[in-house]
Amino acid sequence: MYSLLALKQLQNFKSSSLKSFKNKATNTTNKIMSLIKQQNAPRNGVEWLSIKKRSQNRKLILALAFAMLAFQSNAKNVLFEVSDSDANVGNTHLSTGYSFPGSRYLDVSGKIVDENGQPIPAATVSVKGTKIVTQADANGVFQLKNIEDGAVIIVSYVGYKPLEVKASSGMTIKMIPQSNLEEVVVVGYGTQKKGNITGSVSSIKMDKIGSIPVSNLSNALAGRAPGITVTNSSGLAGATSTIRVRGSFREPLYVINGVIKNKASFDALDPNEVDQMSVLKDAASASVYGAQAGNGVIVVTTKTGKVQKAQFNFQASNTLATTTKTPLGDITTAADELTYQNRVTRFEWEQGARTTPYVQPNNQREFDYFNDKVYNVNDWVWRNPNSQKYLLSVNGGSERITYYAMAGYTDEQGTYKNVDFGKFNLRSDITAQLSNAISMNLNLSASQQNNHRFFWQGDSADDFNVGDFYRVTFNWTKLYPFYTEADGTPANQVTAFPVQTPLGSFQAWSVIDQVNGDRYVDTKNRQFNPILTFNVKLDAITKGLSAKIAGNYEAVDYMRKTFITYQKNYVYSPKDPSGNRFIPAAPDPAKTNTYTFGQAQPSLGYEMNNAWRYQVNGFLNYDRTFDKHKVTAQAIFEQSEFKTTYITTTGFAPTASIDQMFAYSASAGNRTGNATEAIGVNGGNAFNSWISNIAWVGKLGYNFDEKYLVDFSFRYDGTPLVAETKRWGFFPSVSAGWRISQEGFIKDNAKWLSDLKLRASYGTTGNLVNTSNNTIGAFGFEQTYGNGNSYIFGNTLFRGVAPGSTPTPNQTWATIYNYNIGLDFGLLKNKLTGSVDAFLNNMKDILGPRDIIVPASYGATIAPENYAARSFRGLDFNLEWQDKIGQINYSLFGNLGYAKDRWDVLDQSADYLPGGVNEWRSAIGQPANRIIGLKAIDLIRTQEQLDALNAKGFLQYGRKPYLGAILYEDVRGDAFKPGANNKIDDNDLQVLSNNAIPRINFGFGFRVNWKGITIDALLQGVGAYDRMISNQEGGGMRQHGGNFRTYYPIWAGDVWTAENPNAKYPRPVGQNWQESGTGASSFWMVNGAYLRLRNINVAYDLPQKWMNKAGLAGTQIFFNGTNLLTFSAMKEFQDPEQNNYDSFPIMKTFTLGLNVKF
């Protein structure tokens, strides 16, 4: 007989090595069950059982048998003994990994406090090497039962250093705050301790944005990091924000879980699934991404499992929204339009022969008629937008396997009826420790975005500014009903008698039916992305050596369905043509109109873009410390490939008005289709920024005594977008840091100085854009051919072939040479921390056209060349104060970035060179974004001013001046000859501002926590920014309305009239003239700087004692508001982030939500 003793938690009784003994163990279990009744009472809460040996492999069989017994009897702990009178094996270790101790067990309890002795509720407490885990209560107290004597417990909490202490009873554990310097942040191809970073890297704290109600991740980032400009130009459901790093003109490179992605994949992320986000701003940090890193890099890692018991988190929220500015359609009234018609017709009479007395078209009769009538488009198509969001996640695991899974759903109802946006997110991350040396990670993600909106021929389905439609909602006349009853009575609801508006181009269709009718565009974007990674420790070869291989596959597609039907309405006729022309007559069935949307037949169309991409990375890593010397190294291979197929088909001539293709004619003339393929280069829609490549990457770091830091990296990059002889580029970087605060002379003499680090870096990255800021096209380095003229030979149509653009045989990428110097500091035990950076980016060899004179017989376009150069320079700064007063934890933070570009080399015509008549317009030494226009003096307000101008023959664009016109400064004559010539035209244009984009971006805010109440606030803004008030057609404000409708509300506002000569705006004349407001000029230029309360979040954690009774780990109720307050000089026009006056407005949101942990 043998003696065998075993104690183990129930969940650890699983082992694949026992499967072969399952049948025998089952029989043994049945025999054991019959013995249970004969056993003594449990000893110290542990069930004690005995059995004789029965078969071969008895140890494994018994181990499995007792495990199964424990499962069947729901025993929390099971103690096994197989006794033998001859021997006592004592401590024995089976091949299954079970331990058989001769030790004792105890209950452990304690209290967790912070550095000031205050309790830390919800701190995580686990037993090292097991799955045993618990959480401290509201008083910081925890308990663990039946813990092996001598075990080590691990205590962790956000913002504090994890602690490992020997288990005992009645202990008090004091947590030590984690310094920002010890924070591990994600960088290119890895992570690094913040205190040892030598490049310019900004981290975005994701815990502050999880409650912000955004449909796309980019919308939550404004003001979160210095040097990052985030602009949300539209509040339409599903709209995204643009991101620019340090003044660049393109989106940065996005890297998610080590894989290069595009903006669509980044925006598809839910903020709650993101663990870390870093912005790599200089070449020292970004050069490892080579040719694609020229506009900065945003690196993201998603959440992974933790060694803890399974913790579920459920979040639900509801959001209401409204515009930050009153919709323009709600500003004007019918009376405004009647007044506008009177004013414009008066002007037309004054400018005419005046052979008959002026008779205004609208009198008191017309004004009185509209006292009780409102014809506002928004009353029919607008709805108050709202959205719901639901999120469920689980996180947990043991030292052998950890897991994280999340599912999220967002449903957003837009501001217009039939505008909806839906978003689904799924993510699963599993890490398994296959052996002591090998681990495996499988990360699966899937997402889908559904965008449904009404069809509008004036706006692309991918355009979220919808300017063409939005301006229809405010320029549509308010003088005629949208629907009538059968007898002509204006109706306040949809009837069978839609009215054709009888003014201008609007005679053809109905805007109400356009939104509420059956036409639509439905778009679905889907992404599926598995990433499989193996990590191998190679300490057996040499200590600190490891390897990793990661494989990524992405399947991405979008499908768009467009359903277009015709629209029918009744021609408007006045009931009394000689009386009030605004009273409608009964609809006449003989007088109808059909609007075809420019199509010969109603149609149903499909667009499908299917793409796949893979990326494979191989890593060889080295990380080892020798006394005070730490050496790190990486060698990386990367290969990726991308392919997309684009297919379209459209059917015409339906037999019934339904949105299924079987209802459409199958004849060749009524079915069209096309298909294209792309390999290795940019795709359209959701696939832009994907480029096939092969690269070798190297990184080497040296750290002496946490004091002197040196990093070197390079990328040897290959891309198919450039010529074969230029296909490979080498992008090196070097950076160094000196932690001055670690020097003895600082430690001994400046106790208040917690940290001081000086950084400097130099490096290169590539950039695949040309002088127009567009990505370099494919195959520009060789002659291409496309379809040319077609001809008919016999009964056959033949398509011709024609050569494409003249190739650039040596086409290559631009190279950016980056210089960065920075200072990181921490004062007063790191209560005050911050950093400041100065940078210079020299971008050379930019592809662009040359200004070369060639013979007329050349017969082709001149090939572009890599010759142009521009530079960017600026500063980044951030500051944070963290402290505690009693039970109040608080922090204050702020960041600021300044960046400005200029052209250094760019071909220009001779008259732009020094001494030329257009030297003032030269781009050399100037930023790309400037405002050029006329300089306004004032309005022509009095007859005396007008007479003086006419006396000297003054003209503006060939027209005589008039009262109420804008008067411009006369600075040049014909051919830009200096000096006035009593004539205003384009020769008088001037540079009005060098700040057409924001040069300064900033954000600041605070966070306060007290007894479960947390308040977060972020204010964000921009400066050094001039805005030209613009319409879609360009700068200035046009008077599109002619003599019948106001069009833009300002023409019904404070405008010049004989009774109001000191007005703010020009006279309504119904013409798009420069002197009436058209065109960029200083008259319309305003300070574009703004400060807005970007986000405020108020959260309350319900008392933990309530949660304990409910069996919950925690519950939080929160309120979140975005864009609640804005301070800007643009009060009368548009939101300062809006694209232009007639683009869709920005929204403010109000969210109430709930977070539950269990």
Q: C-alpha distances in angstroms, 143 versus 7, 111, 146, 730?
A: 20, 9, 10, 58
Residue 21 in domain: yes
What pLDDT is recorded for position 777? Answer: 79
Our measurement of the distance from residue 297's CA atom to the centroid of its chain's CA atoms, rounded to an integer in Å, reads 13
What does the radius of gyration of the chain's CA atoms come to, in whole angstroms?
A: 36
What pLDDT is recorded for position 10? Answer: 31
Whether 306 has a pLDDT exceeding 50, the answer reads yes
What pLDDT is recorded for position 83? Answer: 39
Give 584-613 pLDDT, tens digit per residue.
999 999 999 888 888 889 999 999 999 899
Assign 1046 a pLDDT band (cuts: 50, 70, 90). confident
Asked if residue 213 lies in contact with residue 859, where contact means CB atoms within 8 angstroms, the answer is: no
Residue 16 in domain: yes
Asked if residue 516 lies in contact with residue 417, where contact means CB atoms within 8 angstroms, the answer is: yes
Comparing 437-451, 664-678, 996-1010, the range with the smallest average pLDDT is 664-678
Assign 161 a pLDDT band (cuts: 50, 70, 90). confident
Assign 855 a pLDDT band (cuts: 50, 70, 90). confident
Helix (H, G, I), strand (E, B) or coil at 1149: strand
CB count within 10 Å of CB 705 equals 11
Comparing 37-46, 186-195, 615-624, 631-640, the range with the smallest average pLDDT is 37-46
Average pLDDT of the segment spanning 92-103: 35
Q: Considering all CA atoms of the chain, what is the largest pairwise distance in Å, rounded to the nearest integer?
A: 134
What sign results for the dihedral spanned by CA atoms 901, 905, 908, 912?
positive
CATH at 230: 2.170.130.10
Q: Are strands 169-174 and 105-113 parallel, antiparallel or unpaired?
A: parallel
Q: Can you point out the beta strands (E) in 434-517?
A: 438-453, 499-500
What pLDDT is recorded for position 684? Answer: 41
Share of the chain above pLDDT 90, in %: 55
- Are both 234 and 302 inside the same structural domain? yes
What pLDDT is recorded for position 88? Answer: 36
Q: How far apart are CA 661 and CA 663, in angstroms?
A: 5
Q: Which of 244-248, 543-547, 850-854 has the highest mean pLDDT?
A: 543-547
Assign 640 a pLDDT band (cuts: 50, 70, 90). very high
What pLDDT is recorded for position 600? Answer: 86
Average pLDDT of the segment spanning 999-1016: 92
**Domain span at 275:** 209-306
Per DSSP, the residues of 507-568 read GG--HHHHHHSS-EEEEEEEEEEEEEEEEEE-TTTSTTEEEEEEEEEEEEEEEEEEEE--EE
What pLDDT is recorded for position 381? Answer: 93
Average pLDDT of the segment spanning 262-289: 90
Assign 789 a pLDDT band (cuts: 50, 70, 90). confident
More confident: 207 or 24: 207
- Are both 254 and 270 inside the same structural domain? yes
- Are both 87 and 115 inside the same structural domain? no
- Are both 213 and 275 inside the same structural domain? yes
Whether 262 has a pLDDT exceeding 60, the answer reads yes
Q: How far apart are CA 847 and CA 1131, in angstroms?
A: 41
Residue 1121's beta-bridge partner residues?
1096, 1150
What pLDDT is recorded for position 30? Answer: 54
More confident: 854 or 434: 434
Whether 97 has a pLDDT exceeding 70, the answer reads no
What pLDDT is recorded for position 63? Answer: 53
Assign 5 a pLDDT band (cuts: 50, 70, 90). very low
22-31 burial string, b = 16+ CB within 10 Å, else e?
A: eebbeebbee
Residue 152 in domain: yes
Average pLDDT of the segment spanning 1072-1096: 96
- Are both 11 and 93 inside the same structural domain? yes
Q: How far apart are CA 599 and CA 208, in angstroms?
A: 50
Give 1097-1127 pLDDT, tens digit per residue.
999 988 877 877 788 878 899 999 999 999 9
Whether 94 has a pLDDT exceeding 50, the answer reads no
Q: Which of 128-137, 705-714, 856-865 has the highest mean pLDDT?
A: 705-714
> Rounded to 10 degrees, what is the CA torsion of 194, 195, 198, 199?
30
> Rounded to 10 degrees, what is the CA torsion of 617, 618, 619, 620?
-170
Residue 1129 in domain: no
Q: How far apart are CA 376 and CA 512, in angstroms?
A: 10
Residue 317's beta-bridge partner residues?
389, 1153
- Are both 95 and 142 inside the same structural domain? no
Give 421-454 pLDDT, tens digit per residue.
999 999 999 999 999 999 999 999 999 999 999 9
- Are both 59 and 96 inside the same structural domain? yes
Domain boundary among 267, 284, 306: 306
Whether 376 has a pLDDT exceeding 90, the answer reads yes
Whether 57 has a pLDDT exceeding 60, the answer reads no
Average pLDDT of the segment spanning 495-509: 77
What is the total count of domains within the chain?
Answer: 3
What sign results for the dihedral spanned by CA atoms 307, 1010, 1008, 171?
negative
- Are both 110 and 148 inside the same structural domain? yes
Average pLDDT of the segment spanning 129-143: 79
Give 398-414 pLDDT, tens digit per residue.
889 999 999 999 999 98
More confident: 107 or 333: 333
What pLDDT is recorded for position 8? Answer: 35
What pLDDT is recorded for position 747? Answer: 84
More confident: 1054 or 70: 1054
Whether 41 has a pLDDT exceeding 80, the answer reads no
Q: Are strands 228-231 and 814-827 parallel, antiparallel or unpaired?
A: unpaired
What pLDDT is recorded for position 482? Answer: 93
Whether 51 has a pLDDT exceeding 80, the answer reads no
Residue 24 in domain: yes
What pLDDT is recorded for position 392? Answer: 95
> Rounded to 10 degrees, what is the CA torsion of 323, 324, 328, 332?
110
More confident: 819 or 283: 819
- Are both 226 and 281 inside the same structural domain? yes
Whether 91 has a pLDDT exceeding 70, the answer reads no
Whether 243 has a pLDDT exceeding 60, the answer reads yes
Helical axes 58-73 vs 22-36, angle rounded to 10°: 60
What pLDDT is recorded for position 11? Answer: 35
More confident: 89 or 404: 404
Domain boundary among 284, 306, 328: 306
Burial environment of residue 304 by CB neighbours within 10 A (0 to 12, 13 to 18, 19 or more): middle
Residue 55 in domain: yes
Residue 1117 structure tokens: 């109720």
- Are both 69 and 115 inside the same structural domain? no
Residue by residue, what is the 3-state secondary structure of 551-566? EEEEEEEEEEEEEECC
- Are both 74 and 158 inside the same structural domain? no
- Are both 232 and 279 inside the same structural domain? yes
What pLDDT is recorded for position 28? Answer: 53
Q: How far apart are CA 446 and CA 407, in angstroms?
A: 10
Average pLDDT of the segment spanning 939-966: 96
Asked if residue 665 lies in contact with residue 254, where contact means CB atoms within 8 angstroms, the answer is: no
Give 687-708 pLDDT, tens digit per residue.
445 577 899 999 999 999 999 9
Domain boundary among 273, 289, 306: 306
Helix (H, G, I), strand (E, B) or coil at 803: strand
DSSP character at residue 1083: G
Whether 103 has a pLDDT exceeding 60, the answer reads no
Whether 18 has a pLDDT exceeding 60, the answer reads no
Q: How far apart are CA 115 and CA 884, in angstroms?
A: 10
Provide the mean pLDDT of the chain.
86
Asked if residue 538 lies in contact with residue 669, where contact means CB atoms within 8 angstroms, the answer is: no
Comparing 805-809, 1020-1024, 1117-1121, the range with the smallest average pLDDT is 805-809
Cα first-last separation, the chain: 47
Share of the chain above pLDDT 70, in %: 89
Asked if residue 517 lies in contact with residue 556, where contact means CB atoms within 8 angstroms, the answer is: no
Residue 774's beta-bridge partner residues?
none
Residue 620 in domain: no
What pLDDT is recorded for position 104? Answer: 64
> Rounded to 10 degrees, what is the CA torsion of 934, 935, 937, 939?
40
Average pLDDT of the segment spanning 717-730: 86
What pLDDT is recorded for position 77? Answer: 42
CATH at 116: 2.60.40.1120
What pLDDT is recorded for position 946? Answer: 96
Residue 874 in domain: no
Helix (H, G, I), strand (E, B) or coil at 1107: helix
